[in-house]
Amino acid sequence: MAEPLLSLQGVSAGHGEAVVLQDISLQVAPGEAVALLGRNGTGKTTLITTVMGAGPRLRAGSIRFAGQDIARLPSERRAALGLGWVPQERNVFRSLTVEENLTAVARPGPWTLARVMELFPRLAERRRNLGSALSGGEQQMLAMGRALMLNPRLVLLDEPLEGLAPVIVQGLLAAIRRMVREDGLAAVIVEQHARLVLPITDRAVILDRGRIVHAGGSDALLAAPEVAERHLGLNHV
Amino acid sequence: MRLALEAAFWLLALASHWLLPEQLPLLGQVWIVALFVLSLDLLVGFAGVLTLGHAAFFGLGAYAAGILAQQGWGEPLSGLLLAALLAALLGLVTAPLVLHGGDLPALMVTLGLSLMLAEAANKLPGITGGADGLLGVEMWPVLGLFRFDLFGRTAFFYALAVLFLLFLLARLITASPFGLALRGIRGNARRMPALGTPVRARLVAVYALSAAYAGVAGALLAQTTQFVSLDALSFQRSAEGLLMLVLGGLGALYGALLGAVAFTLAHHILSEMSPLFWQFWIGVALVGLALAGRGGLLGLGALLLRRGRA
């Protein structure tokens, strides 16, 4: 594997006194897409927010991004280094228009307003609409577009497909595939349903009770559904 | 439509000089108050930082410009610049105290700071004139051409021009990524850092900017009335500014202007009709507006326009 872009070594983290993640070691190479799988409550979101420095308390271990120790950096410095995050709640700015949502956080780089609009034509149609007037799928597109406007080197997508209609899911999967396959953006994609993201990722990591219980190629996991079934249950494969 | 309404607003403001020639001193005051409320809108309406002590910056600007002129430099624009710089500096120094906690601590700290400044001005009569006010403020003509006159004509145009220019600047700032990020902070400050926005730095910047605007408003009052009293630093000024902002509508710039115009004119008319009872009617208007819909006068106007079209 090439020099990792993101590297976690022996990370333990949690909320207050509660330890959620234990001894997590994980590397993501530049341009690599990693599926982060697991049932509800296994620590997937805590892992993402620990990397972003957005809440959980890091109790042990190191987090390095682009060769720099980021464990003590505030979130805005991590974002400035190239970490993009699309939270599960989306958190679009409800009182801003679609276009304003995107320009509010823009940083110079290849991802521009025009390019984001091209990736999500629906956003171009709704560019003058307020965030509060968007459907769930449109809000997800906007949250992803907004993360891209930061011109990240690695984007953390927390359950981007949750609660969306199948037709919207297919559209978003196509956009994510383009981001990671054609545009070479590194990504960690949190998802409960393995079969949705395994085809568009290089590697898969399964979390259970705050520990990594499986790590390997996405193709191998697709070819061996019994492994996924064992860790995720039939409903989540 | 929007552009036409905006043009109508500013043309009407300009035309009031000829429509109400007897009221020029009052109208000049309206533009100054509007600038003060605009400064509050930048802070409260856009960034969501609450304050009960914004008069501290207004008063500092007023005394700075007044003392500069009293000491022999009566050039108006440099007075505005000095007021803006000193107020911004006070804003930068006090912002960490104000932004330390949540809304309630911010209210208490801003109130406390403005009370301290008012008391300091009261106890330093050698500099501020104390309770008698600052006398001997003599202004030079604006741009070396327009002498301040008894009828308030120069004051009217001077205050309106400064308000207009600073309004345009505020519009540019609020439409910029900086301004949009402020609205993002107001909506969800917790998530903004992960979007690359240093929340504290942005809030300190807008606090200083808002302080500078309030300082310029205070300086305009000192220059156009050629007098500064402790009233410039009063709690009532801070509270009325907030009241006007809520009355007009938060976070939309024009709401601040509408609120200031409506409140000052209503104050003038109602206090002539009923000198002891005028605040009752202001209270009635506030309750009525709150019940009619969100967004104050501006929100009400937008609602009526939408219904008119439907």
CB contact under 8 Å between A106 and B177, yes or no, is yes
Please check whether residue B80 is in contact with residue B216, taking contact to mean a CB–CB distance below 8 angstroms. Answer: yes
Give the percent of chain A with pLDDT over 70: 97
Provide the residue ranges of all domains of chain A, joining segments of one domain with +.
6-89+152-236
- At B15-33, the pLDDT tens digits run 999 999 999 999 999 999 9
CB contact under 8 Å between A79 and B198, yes or no, is no
**Residue that is written with structure tokens 């301004």 in the block:** B179
pLDDT > 70? residue B293: no
Quote the pLDDT of residue B29. 95
CA distance B168 to B160: 12
Minimal C-alpha gap between B45 and chain A (Å): 12
With beta carbons under 8 A apart, name residues in chain A contacting B191: 54, 87, 91
A122: number of Cβ within 10 Å: 16
Sign of torsion over alpha carbons A223, A225, A227, A232? positive
ipTM at complex level: 0.84
B194 touches chain A (CB under 8 A): yes
- At B99-142, the pLDDT tens digits run 988 889 999 999 999 999 999 999 999 999 999 999 989 999 99
CA distances from B203 to A75, B14, B94, B167, B186 (A): 16, 34, 12, 20, 10
pLDDT band at B188; cut points 50, 70, 90:
confident
pLDDT > 60? residue A234: no
**H/E/C letters for each residue in A178-225?**
HHHHHCCCEEEEEECCHHHHHHHCCEEEEEECCEEEEEEEHHHHHHCH
Average pLDDT rounded to a whole number, residues A48-66: 95
Q: Find, in chain A, the residue whose alpha carbon is nearest to that of B193.
A: A76
pLDDT > 70? residue B39: yes
In sequence order, the β-bridge partners of residue A191 are: A37
CA distance A105 to B203: 15
**Residue that is written with structure tokens 């004051």 in the block:** B155
Q: Catalogue the long-range contacts made by A175-181 (C-beta closer than 8 Å, 24 or more residues apart).
A: A175/A119, A175/A120, A175/A141, A175/A144, A176/A144, A176/A200, A178/A119, A179/A119, A179/A148, A179/A155, A180/A31, A180/A33, A181/A33
Average pLDDT rounded to a whole number, residues A114-135: 96
- At A172-224, the pLDDT tens digits run 999 999 999 888 899 999 998 888 999 999 999 999 999 999 999 999 999 98
Query: If phi over 0 gives left and psi between -120 and 50 gives alpha, with beta otherwise, what is residue A53?
Result: left
Q: Which CATH class is domain A6-89+152-236?
A: alpha beta
Minimal C-alpha gap between B188 and chain A (Å): 8
* B133, B138, B142, B147 alpha-carbon torsion, rounded to 10°: 110
pLDDT > 80? residue A235: no
Quote the pLDDT of residue B100. 87
A91 touches chain B (CB under 8 A): yes
pLDDT > 80? residue B144: yes
- Which of A53, A79, A95 has its CB closest to that of B183? A95
B77: number of Cβ within 10 Å: 14
- Which of A74, A78, A104 has its CB closest to that of B177? A104
Which tokens in the block code for residue A124? 């171009």
B2 touches chain A (CB under 8 A): no
pLDDT > 70? residue A236: no
C-alpha distance across the termini of chain A, in Å: 27
Give the percent of chain B with pLDDT over 90: 77
Minimal C-alpha gap between A83 and chain B (Å): 8
Please check whether residue B133 is in contact with residue B6, taking contact to mean a CB–CB distance below 8 angstroms. Answer: no
B274: number of Cβ within 10 Å: 12
According to DSSP, the β-strands at A68-69 and A83-86 are unpaired
Q: Which residue has the higher pLDDT, A227 or A100?
A: A100
Q: Find, in chain B, the residue whose alpha carbon is nearest to that of A104.
A: B177
Average pLDDT rounded to a whole number, residues A62-71: 96
Q: Find, in chain B, the residue whose alpha carbon is nearest to that of A132.
A: B187
Lowest-pLDDT range, A230-234, B118-122, B217-221, B280-284?
A: A230-234
Residue B125 exposure: Cα atoms within 13 Å on the Cβ side: 4
Quote the pLDDT of residue B90. 97
CA distances from A230 to A51, A199, A206, B17, B175 (A): 27, 19, 11, 81, 53
Q: Is A37 helix (H, G, I), strand (E, B) or coil?
A: strand
CA distance A212 to A222: 18
* B71, B75, B77, B80 alpha-carbon torsion, rounded to 10°: 20
Quote the pLDDT of residue B300. 85
Query: What is the H or E stretch that residue A158 is in?
Result: strand A154-158
pLDDT > 80? residue A237: no
pLDDT band at B295; cut points 50, 70, 90:
confident
